[in-house]
Amino acid sequence: MADSSDPAAAGSDVLSAAVDLARAAAVETAGSADLVGDHLGVTAEQPEGAVGPDATALLGEVVTHSFASRLPGYVGWHWAVTLARVAGDEQVTVDEVVLLPGDQALLAPAWVPWHERLRPGDLSVGDVLPSTEDDPRLVPTYTVDDDAADDPEAAAVAAELGLGRERVMSQQGRGDAVARWGAGDFGPRSSMARHAPGPCVTCGFFLPLAGSLRHALGACGNAYSPADGHVVTVDYGCGAHSQATLVADDATEVVTSARYDTGTYDVLTD
């Protein structure tokens, strides 16, 4: 039992007993009494700015009442209603009403920035996909020469200076592209490439890319190839290779005498 001669203890009892007031505040915020469940308990709070044992008597009392939440989709959450009483004043006021997660609450997944959520193919007509200033796949064009010491391939794009492009692909960006295309349908591990008569690098329809990637990638210019118009690796291949030849598996019959269709005329003999 609290000592009735102690004003702080008496105030704490008043706040703790104000369950109905706290519930009414929770119902008002929730919008329906059906969404506020059982009273779960009350917790004493330290008033803002309170320092030392006498601070409570000077600043007042603050407690938080908790009520189970019946809000759909918020399993394990609870309504937290904070009540306050100014020192020397008997009136109890509602300070704050919030919905808080408990230890077993269902929480939304951690926020992932949009540029990390996107996947190839997500971009559709009318969408705009701006690159970030710190995109590791790009470097400013004017730093290409400075990067040449650490990135020998950067010299291949140094000629871009003054051509209007502010940024070009970095070494990481080019490496990611090579790895991505090499693992795709037009890379050396595809089923088409494994059964091809030869690699693209020896095909007359192979158009090498310019710059530092010409030794690894190119475009296919064969209208009959499944890779026509696509970027392919030098070790990709298909059945439309320019040097592909037909190899006869079975011996063909050789005709050594003339043959005629006698179905439309009669054969006369001496």
What pLDDT, on the 0 to 100 scale, is given for residue 269? Answer: 67
What pLDDT, on the 0 to 100 scale, is given for residue 20? Answer: 95
Backbone angles phi, psi at 68, to 5 degrees: -60, 145
pLDDT digit string, tens, across residues 7-46: 444 456 888 999 999 999 999 999 999 999 999 999 988 7
- Shared-domain flag, residues 12 and 97: yes
What pLDDT, on the 0 to 100 scale, is given for residue 109? Answer: 82
For 125-183, where are the E strands, in sequence order? 138-140, 167-169
Cα distance between residue 81 and residue 96, in whole Å: 6
What pTM did the predictor assign?
A: 0.47
- Shared-domain flag, residues 138 and 189: no
Domain of 76, in residue numbers: 7-101
| Position 110 in a domain | no
What pLDDT, on the 0 to 100 scale, is given for residue 136? Answer: 83
Out of 101, 122, 155, a domain closes at: 101
Cα distance between residue 62 and residue 39, in whole Å: 17
What pLDDT, on the 0 to 100 scale, is given for residue 181? Answer: 92
H-helix or E-strand spanning residue 212: none
Q: Which tokens is 235 given?
A: 């070790």
What pLDDT, on the 0 to 100 scale, is given for residue 263? Answer: 61
| Position 66 in a domain | yes
What pLDDT, on the 0 to 100 scale, is given for residue 4? Answer: 39
What pLDDT, on the 0 to 100 scale, is given for residue 135? Answer: 83
| Position 259 in a domain | no
pLDDT digit string, tens, across residues 123-163: 777 777 777 778 888 888 766 554 444 555 555 555 555 55
- Shared-domain flag, residues 42 and 81: yes
Name the stretches of the chain with pLDDT < 50: 1-10, 55-58, 146-149, 248, 254-255
| Position 269 in a domain | no
In terms of phi and psi (left: phi > 0; alpha: psi -120 to 50; beta: otherwise), the region of 162 is left
